[in-house]
């Protein structure tokens, strides 16, 4: 439920309400606006009697939230969630604002020089955030599992070299603190969308989280997973549509375009599209990316590799940097047609600790 306080409510009225809510085992999300305080109650709302709350001192109105997800719902937070990730000293990258985010990089981190050179190429083509898997969730236990901590170190070096924030997948709750030392955004992969121990761990970390939709997850299930993260007070969640399983076999998955406007209606969280994993074939990535931007996505996540044939994973769906540059130019035109924009490539480098723009 949402409790709207009267404009003249006193501080002790707000405190009494918070105590009442916390005693019932629920958490509070406080938003102090101009002249009015609104208290979001997160938890099992059935424990709290809305009529009792509405009779408390200073309370103007109690609004129930009809959805099973609360903190993730638009009812709870009518405005879009917008936040900045990365190094604020060099501007950081705003997610959920008018400008779309362009996340790009290899499926797997393959080596230090390889990653740093590719990070520069992606940035010159228009990437604003670098992606790269250090711990890989492979279907086969015999497939390459990622460079692991060595890969995290290279990601941090690529961030240092380019100034771009970095996102990487985390597979295990025990690895969350280590991963946070190296990257800016923790990715929960499709295979782990409903791994509740992992969702709780990333929620508690307070780090921004990119939550991918699982192959078979409904939008409701996906938002309930976001709710796990938000329930820890971690509001910096980005949803990522990466295709779902249907009976089509020409593409790796089926991109659910309608998930974008549905999420925009049901939730305030930003949503990005991953047409690489959705299609599984590089030649379809651009078209699906443009469709996602037209449908209102807040950004794209694209797999890029200098030699896709030689990639250690997902080469078939990876774009060469020059093709990614073309995708960015086309995405910009579509974004502008729907009142958004894609920033021009900004190459940021540090030389002897100084940021060069
Ligand atoms: C990835 O982004 O590298 C990945 C493994 O994607 P997904 O979890 O969507 O399959
Ligand atoms: Mn991949």
Question: Could you tell which of 109, 135, 189 is best to mutate to test the pocket of ligand 1, judged by most ligand atoms within 8 Å of the CB?
Answer: 189
Interval 33-62 mean pLDDT = 87
Question: Of ligand 1's atoms, which has the minimum distance to the CA of residue 192?
Answer: 8
Rounded distance from Cα 78 to ligand 1 centre (Å): 30
Rounded distance from Cα 244 to ligand 2 centre (Å): 15
pTM above 0.85, yes or no: yes
Look at ligand 1, atom 4, and give the residue with the nearest C-alpha. Answer: 189
User: What does the pLDDT read at residue 32?
Assistant: 81
Is there an atom of ligand 1 within 6 Å of 190 CB?
yes
Is there an atom of ligand 1 within 6 Å of 137 CB?
yes
Look at ligand 1, atom 9, and give the residue with the nearest C-alpha. Answer: 190
Rounded distance from Cα 108 to ligand 1 centre (Å): 10
Question: How many helices (H) does the chain have, and how many strands (E)?
Answer: 11, 16
> Within the chain, where are the H helices?
11-23, 50-54, 112-125, 149-162, 176-182, 196-205, 219-230, 259-266, 275-279, 282-294, 321-337
More confident residue, 266 or 41: 266
Cα dihedral 139, 263, 238, 73 sign? negative
Rounded distance from Cα 1 to ligand 1 centre (Å): 35
Question: Could you tell which of 104, 106, 107, 140 is best to mutate to test the pocket of ligand 1, judged by most ligand atoms within 8 Å of the CB?
Answer: 107
Q: How confident is the model at residue 355 (pLDDT cuts 50, 70, 90)?
A: low
Task: Indicate the burial class of 288 (C-beta count within 10 angstroms; 0-12, 13-18, 19 or more).
Answer: buried
User: What does the pLDDT read at residue 45?
Assistant: 67
Predicted confidence (pLDDT) per residue in 227-250, tens digit: 999 999 999 999 999 999 999 999
Rounded distance from Cα 5 to ligand 1 centre (Å): 43
Rounded distance from Cα 110 to ligand 2 centre (Å): 13
Residue 91 has pLDDT above 90, yes or no: no
Predicted confidence (pLDDT) per residue in 197-206, tens digit: 999 999 999 9
The 3-state DSSP class for residue 176 equals helix
Structure tokens at 42: 């997160």
Task: Indicate the burial class of 203 (C-beta count within 10 angstroms; 0-12, 13-18, 19 or more).
Answer: buried
Matching residue, tokens 């309400």 = 17
Question: Could you tell which of 146, 210, 277 is best to mutate to test the pocket of ligand 1, judged by most ligand atoms within 8 Å of the CB?
Answer: 277
Structure tokens at 64: 């129930």
Rounded distance from Cα 133 to ligand 2 centre (Å): 8
- Domains along the chain? 2-63 (3.30.70.1140), 83-351 (3.20.20.70)
- H-helix or E-strand spanning residue 83: strand 83-85
Interval 183-212 mean pLDDT = 98
Rg (CA), the chain: 21
Predicted confidence (pLDDT) per residue in 299-314, tens digit: 999 999 999 999 999 9
Residue 260 has pLDDT above 60, yes or no: yes
Look at ligand 1, atom 10, and give the residue with the nearest C-alpha. Answer: 190
> Percentage of the chain surpassing pLDDT 90?
86
Residue 163 has pLDDT above 80, yes or no: yes
Question: Could you tell which of 242, 245, 252, 304 is best to mutate to test the pocket of ligand 1, judged by most ligand atoms within 8 Å of the CB?
Answer: 242
Instruction: Please tell me the least confidently modeled range out of 4-8, 204-208, 295-299.
Output: 4-8
Q: How confident is the model at residue 357 (pLDDT cuts 50, 70, 90)?
A: low
Alpha-carbon gap, residue 188 to 178, rounded angstroms:
15
Q: Give every CB contact of residue 224 below 8 A, 6+ residues apart in sequence.
A: 68, 69
φ, ψ (nearest 5 deg) of residue 17 = -65, -45
Question: Of ligand 1's atoms, which has the minimum distance to the CA of residue 301?
Answer: 2
- H-helix or E-strand spanning residue 300: strand 299-303
Interval 40-54 mean pLDDT = 85
Rounded distance from Cα 189 to ligand 1 centre (Å): 5
Whether 194 and 224 have beta carbons less than 8 Å apart is answered as no
User: What ligand is nearest to the CA atom of residue 133?
Assistant: 1
Q: Distances from the Cα of 157 to the Cαs of 106, 120, 313, 320, in angstroms? A: 15, 12, 21, 22
């Amino acid at each position: 439920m949402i409790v709207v306080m009267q404009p003249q409510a006193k501080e002790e009225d707000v405190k009494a309400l918070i105590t009442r809510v916390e005693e019932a085992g629920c958490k509070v999300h406080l938003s102090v606006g101009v002249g009015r305080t609104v208290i979001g109650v997160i938890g099992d709302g059935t424990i709290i009697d809305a009529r009792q709350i509405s009779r408390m001192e200073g309370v103007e109105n109690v609004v129930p939230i009809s959805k099973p997800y609360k903190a993730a719902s638009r009812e709870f937070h009518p405005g879009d969630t917008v936040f900045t990730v990365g190094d604020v000293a060099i501007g950081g990258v705003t997610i959920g604002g008018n400008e779309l985010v362009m996340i790009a990089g290899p499926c797997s981190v393959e080596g230090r020089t390889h990653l740093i050179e590719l990070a520069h190429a992606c940035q010159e083509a228009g990437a604003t955030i670098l992606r790269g898997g250090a711990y890989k969730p492979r279907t086969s236990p015999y497939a390459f599992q990622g460079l692991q901590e060595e890969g995290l170190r290279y990601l941090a070096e690529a961030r240092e070299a380019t100034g771009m924030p970095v996102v990487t997948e985390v597979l295990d709750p025990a690895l969350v603190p280590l991963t946070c030392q190296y990257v800016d955004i923790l990715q929960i992969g499709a295979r782990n969308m409903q791994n509740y121990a992992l969702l709780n761990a990333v929620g508690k970390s307070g780090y921004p989280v990119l939550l991918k939709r699982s192959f078979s997850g409904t939008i409701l299930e996906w938002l309930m997973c976001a709710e796990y993260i938000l329930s820890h007070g971690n509001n910096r969640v980005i949803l990522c549509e990466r295709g779902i399983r249907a009976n089509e076999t020409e593409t790796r998955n089926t991109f659910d375009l309608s998930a974008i406007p549905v999420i925009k209606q049901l939730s305030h969280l930003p949503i990005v599209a991953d047409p690489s994993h959705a299609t599984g074939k590089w030649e379809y990535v651009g078209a699906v990316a443009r469709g996602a931007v037209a449908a209102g996505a807040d950004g794209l996540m694209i797999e890029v590799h200098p030699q896709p044939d030689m990639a250690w994973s997902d080469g078939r769906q990876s774009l060469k940097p020059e093709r990614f540059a073309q995708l960015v130019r086309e995405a910009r035109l579509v974004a502008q047609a729907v009142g958004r924009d894609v920033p021009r490539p900004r190459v940021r480098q540090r030389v002897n600790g100084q940021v060069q723009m």
